[in-house]
Structure formats: structure tokens, C-alpha cells
Amino acid sequence: MSKLEITKAIFYEVKSLGKDLISSNERTYDSAEKQYYQILTEFYAENGDMLSPHDYEISKRDYEYFLKLIELVASRLEAEKNRRALLH
């Protein structure tokens, strides 16, 4: 699986956590929050060259911001893929 495909899969995984991150059920929320932070931390570790520490800190508190960052990384990866295709 390419980095672009992985990034797109992460987007959908995070998006699927959205309803659980606003759940009034404490167990559901806690579980979703734990998953969210794990995904965020791994995503930042993998893509830290495209993201700032500030992006990471905001994403800890802002789910929508993180989704936009994932889309931004996917767009950059798509652009790189297209540039490489043009060069070959």
C-alpha cells in the first residue's frame, strides 16, 4: 500500500471516530479519544516533515483541523506522485 493510500485510509478512520468523539457515553468517548490520539501521534511521526509542531498541538484539540491536515498531506502526496509520473 502506498503512502498516499495509507493517508487516505487514515482520513476515513479518523472521520469514523467523529461521532464517538462527541458521544455522551463515557466509555465510547474515552475509547475514541485514545484511538484518536494514537492515530494523531503516529501520523505526525510519519509526516512530521510536512507538519509543524503547532499543527500537532492544534490537532490534539481540534478534530476538524486534523482532518484538514490529513487532506493537505494527501494532496501533497498526490502532487508528488503526479510530478514523478510526468518525469518518467
* pLDDT in the model for residue 13: 97
* pLDDT in the model for residue 26: 95
pTM of the model: 0.90
Domain count, the chain: 1
The rounded distance, in Å, linking the Cα atoms of 10 and 16 is 10
Q: What angle do CA 50, 39, 17 make, to 5 degrees?
A: 120
Q: Which structural domain range is residue 36 located in? A: 3-87
DSSP single-letter state for residue 25: -
Handedness of CA 23, 28, 31, 35 (dihedral sign): negative
Per residue of the chain (88 residues), give pLDDT as tens: 999 999 999 999 999 999 999 999 999 999 999 999 999 999 999 999 999 999 999 999 999 999 999 999 999 999 999 999 888 7
* pLDDT in the model for residue 87: 87
Cβ within 8 Å of residue 14, ≥6 positions away: 36, 39, 63, 66, 67, 70
* pLDDT in the model for residue 88: 76
Nearest to residue 6, comparing CAs of 41, 47, 37?
47
Neighbours of 37 (CB within 10 A): 12
